[in-house]
Amino acid sequence: MRIERIELRELRMPLVSFFETSFGRTVERRIVLVRVDADGLTGWGEVTCGERPFFTYETPETAWHILRDFLIPWTIGKPWDSPSLLATQFRPIRGHNMAKAALENALWDVQAQEAGVPLAKLLGGTQIEIACGVSIGIQENVAELLDKIEHEVEAGYQRIKVKIKPGWDVEVLEGIRSRFPDIRLMTDANSAYSLDDLPHLNLLDQFGLMMVEQPLGWDDLVDHARLQREIETPVCLDESIHSASDARKAIEIGACKVINIKLGRVGGFTSAREIHDLCRARGVPVWCGGMLESGIGRAHNIALSTLPGFTLPGDVSASRRYWKEDIIEPEVSVSARGTICVPERPGLGFAPVLDRIEKATIRKETFA
Ligand code: OSB
Ligand code: MG
């Protein structure tokens, strides 16, 4: 594949309802898209960072800078036998995984089209439909949260994840369990606690949670290992895992029993597959996380979730939970049994809608 042209765009996309975590509320997304033209085909990738450097240090601005000044000049005009070679090429740049992932993943889209196979197939996916859960943000009050949960359970989602933070945890879970004693439930703290909260975190064991996601420091493994020794509830790591090497260390020291794989956070499909393969070999279940993606990133997440080690429902859910109108056709929809059917068309299997993308674009830069 010879990369002939690359286009960067920043889109503004208002969410249909706000999404709040322990680090704040998001009402509108700023999404950087990467369009790659190679061999007469077009591939798309999405930078999945937040607007503010809270989940990770990346922002749309840092991603634009790293793509424009490093990743694009290193790749454009050159032939690439495989998208994985991009991951090798990008290795000297420390971090900036979400910028790297957007470009690498766009090339995977091109390669799947060139091979005439669905992206899921090209990656080695084996599942023809994927199991879906939802992530529900912090609400104004518990009653509103319970209504949201009811709505999603009725829609068929297979598990519910709720965001927690100090002051929005044990009482909230009591409320959930008294109304929904049997649902598959988990929590995500986005690093809102420390080991000082150990007695409090012990209280989580009474709620029959599938797991607690990233309770401690975003850059920590050691304290998570200590916590996992103290609590029954499986710890799942999100923010702490950026590579297969991080995953290996976390598993070896007992810092987690489950790993959430996010394409952006780990730097793209090549790294995501390495983590998947390692976890599968060690019997650690994985699932695909979400970053409030547009349809482009969502389509990539669906393809990733078809790998055999993705045995738990992920945070990949219907377009309409986020957008009045998604930027792909068809939009992502979820069946009444809480699954997404994996498209059988070549490439992403969802077509980017150029005029909707254009309408949402607030800046654009082209490289040739
Ligand atoms: O920690 O999983 C997270 C959204 C933004 C940043 C971090 C996280 C999330 C989610 C939402 O939980 C998942 C989604 O619905 O896309
Ligand atoms: Mg998380």
Distance CA 252, CA 187 (A): 23
pLDDT digits (tens, 9 = 90+) for 184-205: 999 999 999 999 999 999 999 9
The protein residue whose alpha carbon is closest to atom 12 in ligand 1 is 135
Q: What is the mean pLDDT of residues 115-130?
A: 98
Question: How distant is the alpha carbon of residue 327 from its chain centre?
Answer: 18
pLDDT digits (tens, 9 = 90+) for 216-245: 999 999 999 999 999 999 999 999 999 999
Residues with CB under 6 A from ligand 1: 55, 135, 188, 190, 238, 289-292, 315
Q: What angle do CA 329, 335, 341 make, to 5 degrees?
A: 60
Distance CA 222, CA 358 (A): 46
For residue 300, how far is its CA from the centre of ligand 1 (angstroms)?
A: 15
The closest-lying atom of ligand 1 relative to the alpha carbon of residue 161 is 12
Classified by CATH at the fold level, domain 3-116+351-367 comes out as: Enolase-like; domain 1 (3.30.390)
Distance CA 294, CA 291 (A): 9
Q: Which residues are designated catalytic?
A: 163, 262
For residue 330, how far is its CA from the centre of ligand 1 (angstroms)?
A: 23
Say yes or no: do domains 3-116+351-367 and 121-341 share a fold.
Answer: no
Nearest ligand, measured from the Cα of 215: 2
Q: Which is nearest to 95 in space by CA: 46, 62, 60?
A: 62
Q: Which residues surround ligand 2, an ion (CB under 5 A)?
A: 188, 213, 238
Nearest ligand, measured from the Cα of 15: 1
Q: Mapping DSSP to helix (H, G, I), strand (E, B) and coil, where does residue 167 land?
A: coil
Which H or E run contains 360? helix 354-360
Q: Which is nearest to 34 in space by CA: 304, 352, 355, 356?
A: 352
- Average of per-residue pLDDT values in the chain: 98
> In this structure, what DSSP letter does residue 359 have?
H
Q: Among residues of the chain, what percentage have pLDDT more than 70?
A: 100
Q: What is the mean pLDDT of residues 173-179?
A: 98
For residue 48, how far is its CA from the centre of ligand 1 (angstroms)?
A: 10
Query: Cis omega before residue 92 (within 30°)?
Result: no
> 7 pLDDT band (50/70/90 cuts)?
very high
Q: What pLDDT is recorded for position 367? A: 98
Please spell the DSSP secondary structure of 191-219, one letter per residue: T---GGGHHHHHGGGGG--S-EE--S-TT
Residue ranges per structural domain of the chain: 3-116+351-367, 121-341
Nearest ligand, measured from the Cα of 54: 1
Classified by CATH at the fold level, domain 121-341 comes out as: TIM Barrel (3.20.20)
Q: What is the mean pLDDT of residues 55-75?
A: 98
Q: What pLDDT is recorded for position 123? A: 98
The protein residue whose alpha carbon is closest to atom 7 in ligand 1 is 291
φ/ψ bin of 208: left (φ > 0), alpha (ψ from -120 to 50), beta (otherwise): left
The closest-lying atom of ligand 1 relative to the alpha carbon of residue 188 is 1
Q: What pLDDT is recorded for position 364? A: 98
